Structure 1
Amino acid sequence: MRYITGTLLAFCLFAILPSITQAASFTTDDFITTWDTTKAGTSASNQITIPGTGSGYSYSIYWESLSSTTATGTIATSTSASQTITFPEPGEYKVAIKGTYPRIYFNNGGDKLKILTVEQWGSNPWTSTDSAFYGCANLTVPATDAPNLSGVTNMRFMFYGTSLNNPVNHWDISNIENMQYLFRGTPFNQPLDNWNTSNVTNLLHTFAFATSFNQPLNMWNTSKVTDMGWTFYNATSFNQPLDNWDTSNVTRMTIMFGSAKYSNHQPTTFNQPLDNWDTSNVTQMNAMFSNNSSFNQTLNAWNVSKVTNLSEMFSHASSFNQALNNWNVASTTNMTDMFLNATLSQSNLDSTLSSWAAQSLKSNVPFHLGLKTYSSTGQTALNTLRDTYNWTITEQYQAEYQEGEDYTISGTAIQSPINDNGTTTAVEVIPNNRCTFINWSDNNTANPRTDTLTDNLTVSAIVECPNPSKSNGTSAATRYKKLLEFGNTAEAEAVKDRYLVTTSSNPDAPTLETVSNNIKLLITNPAINNNLEYRQQLISILQQLVQILRGMTGASS
């Protein structure tokens, strides 16, 4: 009997010994992470909470202190999605999850700042990595193995806001469909050319704000992708060829290669050929290249017949200068700020406007054509857009101030440049009573505006005019005659002209309008008022002003 009992005991010990050993050590099957309990979080300073979501959990935990391998602990089998571990004292710990753990789910909350690394993925089959490490700002992934993603279709937000910059090119993502926000806001800049993206449908924000990323992606299979909105938004380093991408199913390309000018974001620099892209199903291209300082590739072969929104598409795209005369814009309803702070050459703008005006267009479309460069050919096309389709046209005129020079521009009384060491400059735009000042190109709404110059400054005035009234059956086009274009080589004729607008159909032969209540003289830079040259020029200006007033009232000298 004793023999049988002893044999049975030995057998039982032999049977359970592997599980005891496994529970008290790290194995290659474990999901292993490191943590710092002293970081901010929702648990106590000697605790961590591993967050999960959903059901299907069955796992145990083994942990060790990183400062002392004798400080260890275990948690027996748990079926809870989230698990809090209380350690002997605050510090850094290495934690292994053994068994089935379908999802880790920080989702920008909880102890997101306490997790430091993923040391090993192990053999655990993940069911989703949606928002897995979203917001884990201290996280890196030095693990050399790959996660088991065979059951995963959704990787959205997986590393959003982390410190990830580790190799992941060996991962099998062949079943992944959703990659939106995957690397957003990370310093990630590792190769991804081995990734099989044949099932991916969503690239929304995938590399947005990944300001270091600049790796080849031209081999990616994008044939199923429908959304490329914000894919490289504010990815300021990215400039890789993408001409092999299949975009035939894409419907949205919103701000794909751009950034936000008025949020103080750096300009993007992407400048690669895209002329062979199939854009036949795209409906939204708004801000696609907004605030991209480098892009200047031909896009004239694009099929934009389904695009309804082209607003801000080339806003602040300072290098772009291409004709778009082959574009069919018949479906477009919004071109607000389309070319804001962009400049097409006269030939490119003329051909584009003329082609568009010959199409059957939507009515009441707001359209910003950028800095005015067109000729009478373009003017004729604009007349059609205004008169036939009631488009609201916004244009820009450039003002340039040079350091060390002082200008005061007050509509009908324009002061000549004063060459001095002063750096304070005031400028005012006074539209005629049919037009409205909107703002300056740097979003300054002050009018007049005053600048203290420490360097050369270039801004543009944005003035919007409603459709002009017709006279004798002829449409009158309200234009500015090269308003506010000055510099070291200021146009003397422009400086002398007392003008604001022209109501001539020919912008090169303006009709000058002088309105007495618009005559102002702004005296700026009082620090140099005692300068002899300044006083002499001021006297001359006042004398000219008196002559203007006499001419308007019929007085004689």
Structure 2
Amino acid sequence: MKFYFLILGMLLPLASHTQNFITRWVFQQPSSTLTFNGVTEGEVVCRWTTSSNPTGGIHRFSNTNENIPIILAIPIPAGDTVTLSMEPTNLRRFFINGGYNNANRNELREVRQWGNVPWQSMEAAFSGCPNFNLIATDVPDLSRVKSMKQMFWFCKAFTPPFNIDLWDVSGVNDMESMFSEIASFNRDLSAWDLKALINAQGMFSNSEISCETYSRILKAWAENPNTADNVNFAFQRGAVYANTAASYRNALFTKGWRISMDNIAWPGNPCYNMALPVTFGNIRAAFRNGALQVNWATLTETNNEHFEIEASIDGINFTKIGSVLSRAAAGNSSVQLNYEFSNNISNTILVTWIGILLLCSAGFGTSHRKKSLFPLLALIAMSLSIAGCKKISPSPKDNNRSFYIRIKQVDMDGNFTHSKVVKAEIE
């Protein structure tokens, strides 16, 4: 019996409406309607529930005119949370645009799931929503999207999701003010393919993007041969780059990029001489014959000591599962180097992941509460260890879970950076 997967099944219940676009709203004042903007190519079925009415109901709507709001009649008492689950077949666009058409911009709190919607535009989708955050762990279908202009503009509570670097933006030509005026930009977009990009004016303006993140992005985009020429990248107010990233910024100028209002870090700033040690190439993770295999490449390495392979079941909490030494002579290389790591994940990883998940879900209210979890974790770990001795080869197929991998690169001096996050495939 695959005991550890039974426990995973108990701890990680499968999400319902796995294909739907799911949003959540909180109303401080009573209301009889919920309003947003959208475009459809036919009728969309929308199921709703509220915290005071968990049975809820169903609405059907269609709208081909983006200037006409979608208004759902829903009785909402003060303080209620509303969940909308929209079927993806005919849905093409959802947007708030700062409360356009009296859309409930203050009430929108979360996108919980993107679903299988073939989105046609993300322009102004969540623009001006002060309480909005994105907690969806799936990746939106952006293959038809041309504009992401002001997608998260002035979303003061928004922080980019862990898997945003997996978004396929290769067809997008407008990212103007996409992350402008948000609370904190903390995600590396080095992996984004910008081959269609034309306008990214103010993309990171006043986004509190860190010097380290901005520097790595400049380096990666400058080194990527797919990066478009002649991009408008002006008005990056507040963005600061390392002295070591200046050459990459200049390389983008050479490609015809128009960059303005960012600034180089001052000497003495910890970021000023920040090492940009590794440029990652392709990263791939897959399950083959019950084992996890990870392959990656580096395009350049500087002062690199080793790599640590980290795994997760939620894409947020990662644990180390192995390490690989750098193949570069003295940690330095200007040519592509290929790496491989393989490991059976049947026991240790699952124990660690379940422990992390239990601690996170139980919360950290008091030290007494944390101590009370340790016997439970020990019991589960012991049970999993016993089960693991039965030579059972696990597979994600057994419990329909997702596994995520990232590579931690560690310098000779102990500093480190992370690669993008990738989802392990099943072969």
Question: Which of the pair has more CA radius of gyration?
Answer: 1
**Higher RCO, 1 vs 2 (CA within 8 Å, ≥6 residues apart):** 2
Question: Normalized per residue, which structure has more helix?
Answer: 2
